[in-house]
Every structure is written in structure tokens, then in C-alpha cells.
């Protein structure tokens, strides 16, 4: 009577226990694998962004040094005639307004300013093409501006003529054949210079100061390799530079 019946484990319990133990192990393994993958991903992303940040800093340092070189040349050889403007990560701007000035409604450049441009522009090209600047240098945009006098479309045409005249000055020579750019410099201008008219946008303090021309030096961004290769494959050396109509001063 004191004999106890042995406890019989159901087939259900015997079948479930190995299953739940295996499932727990599987979840642990998955979580471990997930943590490993996340750790590897974080390390890779950190390395990627550190590399990208280092490249951005190198680009900024190069352009900043280029701006410093241009400023030194302007101070040493052309004091008070060209003002270099640069903010981090942006293009380098050269304000020529102190010497390249325009009369109201006109786009002619006088003799002194013309002589200055023929001397100064080659130094700019030499600086951006023959030192560390060339690693990122892309092109020069000549920008013409007007005062508030006149309507927008009239000033748009006039500002474009002013930027065009800056390039025309580089094509001309003195009556004795001197003073012009070399063939090499002209080829550089053809390949690298663009012109744009900006009407009366970006006004200065006075109308006289607003009637000006500026040079905008643009630099390649990181990741522009494909576009850079496409532009570098274009050869304009065989195209004639041409001659602009002579201005009467």
C-alpha cells in the first residue's frame, strides 16, 4: 500500500525540452552574431569617415594655401590692385574693382587696367597650375557686375559684356605687338575661363564700386573624378583664340 507509482514523464515534455533548449542556444548565437556584425560595421564606418574627413581637410588646406599664395603675390607685385577673398571650403574670389572700373552704362577697360590684367592674369594661372593648387583647381569664372542704374535685362547684357571685355583684353596686344599673352597662356584662358553676367546682383556700398569685374576660382569637389576626367579629355588647343574689337579710350 505504501508503494508509490513512479512518475511518468509525458512524451510531450520529453519532446519539448530539447526543442526549447536548442531555440535558446540559437537565439544566443544570433544575438552574438548580430553584435559582431554591428561592431565590424561600426569600425568600418568609422574608418571610412575618418578617411573622408582627412581628405576634406587636405583639400581645405591646399585651397587655403593657394589663397595665401595668391594674396602674397597680390601684396608683393600688385599692391592695392587685387583683393583675395576666401572662406573655408568655397571658391577663391579675386575682386579687381580697385583698378578694373567701368563708367556708367559702359564696358570699356582703360589702358592702365588693361596693362594690369595682362600682367596679373598670367601670375594667377601660374599659381593655380604649377603648384599644389593644381590638384583641385578646376576653372576661372569672370564675373561682371553693374550698378542699380537701368533695368535687369539691360544690366544683364552690360554685365556680360564687362566680363567678356576682361577676356578680350587678354587677346589684344599693344600697337607695337607687345603686351599680349603668350600662346601658352592663351590656351590656358581658352580651356579654363568662363564668363558670366550678374546684372545688379551683389551690390557694393556705392554704384561706382558695384560697376566691377571679379575672378572666381573654382575647385573640384571630392568625388568629381568622372566629371573631371570628361573635362580633361576636351582639347581646345587647336581652336583660334580670336580677336575682340578694339576699344577707343
192 located within any domain: yes
Give residue 244's pLDDT: 78
Separation of alpha carbons 14 and 112, rounded Å: 103
Q: What is the pLDDT of residue 214?
A: 93
**Distance between CA atoms of residues 210 and 146, nearest Å:** 6
Q: What pLDDT was estimated at residue 195?
A: 92
pLDDT tens for the chain, 249 residues: list them: 455 555 555 555 555 555 555 767 777 878 888 888 888 888 887 777 667 788 888 889 999 999 999 999 999 999 988 899 998 777 999 999 889 989 999 999 998 998 899 899 989 988 888 778 888 999 999 999 999 888 999 999 999 999 999 998 888 766 666 667 788 888 888 888 999 999 888 888 899 999 999 999 999 988 888 888 888 887 777 788 777 776 654
Alpha-carbon distance of 224 to 53, in angstroms, equals 16
pLDDT attached to residue 111: 87
Is residue 12 in some structural domain?
no
Residue 196 lies in a domain: yes
pLDDT at position 179, please? 63
Q: Which domain holds residue 169?
A: 47-232
Q: Tell me the C-alpha distance between 124 and 8, whole Å.
A: 97
Q: Compute the distance between CA of residue 27 and CA of residue 31 in angstroms, rounded to an integer.
A: 6
CATH of the domain at 182: 3.30.1330.60
pLDDT reported for residue 4: 54
Residue indicated by cell numbers 545688379: 200
Assess contact for 198 and 161: CB atoms under 8 A. no
Q: Tell me whether residue 243 is in a domain.
A: no
> CB burial class (10 A; 0-12, 13-18, 19+) of residue 120?
buried
Residue 247 lies in a domain: no
- The predicted pLDDT at position 18 comes to 54
| Domain membership flag for residue 246 | no
Per the structure, the count of domains in the chain is 1
Domain-located, residue 30: no
Residue among 132, 118, 91 at smallest CA distance from 215 = 91
Query: Taking a C-beta distance cutoff of 8 angstroms, is the pair 215, 223 a contact?
Result: no
pTM for this one?
A: 0.76
The predicted structure's pLDDT at residue 38: 85
CB 143 within 8 A of CB 160: no
Amino acid at each position: 500500500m505504501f508503494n508509490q507509482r513512479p512518475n511518468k514523464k509525458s512524451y510531450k515534455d520529453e519532446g519539448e525540452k530539447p526543442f526549447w533548449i536548442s531555440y535558446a542556444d540559437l537565439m544566443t548565437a544570433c544575438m552574438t552574431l548580430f553584435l559582431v556584425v554591428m561592431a565590424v560595421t561600426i569600425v568600418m564606418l568609422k574608418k571610412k569617415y575618418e578617411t573622408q574627413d582627412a581628405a576634406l581637410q587636405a583639400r581645405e588646406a591646399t585651397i587655403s594655401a593657394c589663397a595665401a599664395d595668391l594674396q602674397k603675390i597680390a601684396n608683393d607685385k600688385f599692391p592695392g590692385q587685387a583683393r583675395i577673398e576666401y572662406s573655408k571650403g568655397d571658391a577663391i574670389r579675386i575682386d579687381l574693382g580697385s583698378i578694373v572700373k567701368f563708367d556708367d552704362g559702359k564696358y570699356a577697360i582703360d589702358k592702365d587696367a588693361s596693362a594690369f590684367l595682362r600682367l596679373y592674369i598670367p601670375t594667377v594661372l601660374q599659381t593655380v597650375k604649377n603648384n599644389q593648387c593644381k590638384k583641385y583647381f578646376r576653372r576661372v569664372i569672370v564675373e561682371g557686375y553693374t550698378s542699380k542704374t537701368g533695368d535687369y535685362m539691360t544690366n544683364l547684357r552690360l554685365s556680360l559684356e564687362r566680363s567678356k571685355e576682361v577676356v578680350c583684353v587678354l587677346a589684344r596686344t599693344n600697337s607695337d605687338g607687345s603686351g599680349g599673352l603668350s600662346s601658352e597662356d592663351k590656351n590656358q584662358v581658352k580651356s579654363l575661363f568662363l564668363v558670366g553676367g550678374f546684372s545688379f546682383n551683389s551690390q557694393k556700398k556705392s554704384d561706382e564700386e558695384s560697376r566691377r569685374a571679379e575672378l572666381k576660382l573654382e575647385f573640384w569637389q571630392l568625388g568629381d573624378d568622372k566629371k573631371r576626367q570628361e573635362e580633361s579629355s576636351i582639347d581646345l588647343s587647336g581652336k583660334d583664340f580670336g580677336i575682340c574689337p578694339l576699344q577707343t579710350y
